[in-house]
Amino acid sequence: MSYLPRIAQASATMELSREELAYYARHILLPSIGTMGQRKLKTARVLVVGAGGLGCPVLQALAGAGVGHLTVIDGDIVAVSNLSRQWLHRYADAGQNKAVSAQHTLRQLNPFVEVAGQPAMLSPENAQALVEAHDLVVDATDDLDARYWIDDACAASDTPWVHAALYRERSQLTVFWANCGARFRGLYPEPAEAPSCAGAGMLGATASIVGNLQALECIKLITGNAQPKVGQLVSFDADVLALQSFQLPGVQQPTRIDDPAAKSPASGITQEALQQALSIHEPLQLLDLRSRSQYESGSIAGAHHYSAEQILEEGLPTHGASRIVLFCQEGSISQILVDALHARESVKLQHLEGGYEAWQT
């Protein structure tokens, strides 16, 4: 599922390379992300406006998460005073454009994502075209005018955007989506009422928290793994680590879109079918994905211990078997692994339905 129609459709044909399976192993093993969620992230195109205190953690988190295309636009130059809170930039980058500096660092962080750095400021002239070329937008700027340009361009193209604003120890966060009734102009009709952090002091740790919260909202919108904060204004006070929120009136929550992707071939095997296969000595290999201590305390006879992370990073062990059955404790991890690997393996790959718990019943 996804909240974004293009991603739900395009991710059906997106594939992950073996190197990407290794890089994103810990994401793929999350039932809320899995292989399909990671494909959606690879499909996504995200525009980040600003490569400063918010933009740096947002970009780093989204690149690490595997967003396939990131565009960062910023016309500012890296200053030494930026470096204590804008951690994508290095001391040697002082004097370089922030978008170009961020692009260079992100390409080193994750070679599997495409990063485009635009050394310019967002403006009424370029905002609409930029927004229309992306699935969602992140507001990581302290330019108040830019927020209104983002809001107008996103409303015109039915694009959600993740807003945040910082002021010293306090910050706010929400997701605007005009189609759902949530607009920046609705909350702040006049610029004098809107928050701005320009010229204020700021701790990098505070900006990092808020930027990562913005990245989480992006991931929700892309993967559909949770309900995004559309029209829900969240306030964060770093001094007391307190979060407060209120829902804007008249906002409807977006609907998740079902995946059009075809289901992977039936890959489950029941406890009864596996017992029968073993009783007639079918040539198959059993891999126990549970922890070493669980494996040593009891497993299916003939099973070998192999961690899920190890399989995603190194591939399946090759012992000449034409059929491999994976099992974990409850069956969810082994199913995720089979879904991730079935198109890339020449052997018949199955998972034990219900896992080791089902085997013991």
Nearest-5° Cα angle at 247, 243 to 249: 160
Q: What is the percent of the chain with per-residue pLDDT over 70, rounded to a whole number?
A: 94
Query: Of 154, 180, 197, 218, which one is the catalytic site residue?
Result: 197
Give Cα separations from 331 to 22, 59, 145, 302, 356 (angstroms). Answer: 21, 34, 51, 19, 8
Q: For residue 249, what are its two tokens?
A: 């009136």
pLDDT, tens digit (0-9, with 9 covering 90-100), for 320-335: 778 999 999 999 999 9
What whole-number distance in Å separates Cα of residue 63 and Cα of residue 134? 15
Instruction: Answer whether residue 56 shows pLDDT above 50.
Output: yes
Rg (CA), the chain: 23
Mean pLDDT confidence for 8-23? 93
pLDDT greater at residue 283 or residue 356: 356
Q: How confident is the model at residue 194 (pLDDT cuts 50, 70, 90)?
A: low
What whole-number distance in Å separates Cα of residue 105 and Cα of residue 17? 22
Domains and CATH numbers, the chain: 5-247 (3.40.50.720), 268-360 (3.40.250.10)
What whole-number distance in Å separates Cα of residue 241 and Cα of residue 271? 48
Query: Of 56, 154, 218, 328, which one is the catalytic site residue?
Result: 328
Say which residue the tokens 């909202």 belong to: 217
Instruction: Answer whether residue 197 shows pLDDT above 80.
Output: no
pTM: 0.91
pLDDT, tens digit (0-9, with 9 covering 90-100), for 30-44: 989 999 999 999 999
pLDDT, tens digit (0-9, with 9 covering 90-100), for 129-183: 999 999 999 999 989 999 999 999 999 999 999 999 998 888 999 999 999 999 9
* Per-residue pLDDT, 315: 86
Q: What type of residue sits at position 247?
A: Q
pLDDT greater at residue 338 or residue 195: 338
Mean pLDDT confidence for 2-18? 93
pLDDT greater at residue 195 or residue 25: 25
Nearest-5° Cα angle at 185, 195 to 241: 40
Q: For residue 40, what are its two tokens?
A: 């959606």
pLDDT, tens digit (0-9, with 9 covering 90-100), for 275-292: 999 999 998 999 999 999
Instruction: Answer whether residue 254 shows pLDDT above 70.
Output: yes
**DSSP secondary structure of 82-139:** GTTT-TTS-GGGTTSBHHHHHHHHHHHH-TTSEEEEE-S---TTTHHHHHHTSSEEEE
* Per-residue pLDDT, 262: 46
328 is catalytic: yes
56 is catalytic: no
